[in-house]
Amino acid sequence: MMDRTYKVKNIENVISSKKDEKKRYYRKNYNFFELLKKIKLWPSRKGILHGIKSITVIGNKAEITTHCNEKFMIRNSKNSRASRWLRNKWLVKVCPRCKIPQWKLEKYASTIITQDYGAKF
Ligand SMILES: [Zn+2]
């Protein structure tokens, strides 16, 4: 069985991403919640990357349910810790219970989020 526990800081060191793969760009002014709905990944406070099962938006907040059935209440903020983590692709480890498929991690690794995305919408 494959060991899915990675102890590195940058996801690009973890994933053997194909160099010639098309880069995906998210434009600035991108809604943070919409971004999460697209990438379906959530970095927890401890730096564990979870797979998102569902997002329920309630006004300016959203409830995230991960595949390992953890719930997180989040704010729609580009300055949030999670937003920074996703932008910089920091990562301590991948949640072993969420079973995030490799292709999804590779897609994330090849995604470039511009610095000021989600500024105002
Ligand atoms: Zn998880």
How many angstroms is it from 91 CA to the middle of ligand 1?
13
Cα–Cα dist 20/1, whole Å: 29
C-alpha 39 to ligand 1 mean position (Å): 15
Whole-number pLDDT of residue 121:
29
Look at the block and give the residue holding tokens 């938006």: 57
- Residue 89, classified by CB atoms within 10 Å of its CB into exposed (0-12), middle (13-18) or buried (19+), is buried
Span from the CA of 65 to the centroid of ligand 1 (angstroms): 9
In angstroms, what is the span from residue 52 Cα to ligand 1's centroid?
8
Q: How far is the C-alpha of 24 from the C-alpha of 41, rounded, in Å?
A: 16
Interval between CA 45 and ligand 1 midpoint (Å): 12
pTM of structure: 0.67
What 8-state DSSP symbol labels residue 25?
E
Residues in the chain with pLDDT values less than 70: 1-30, 112-121
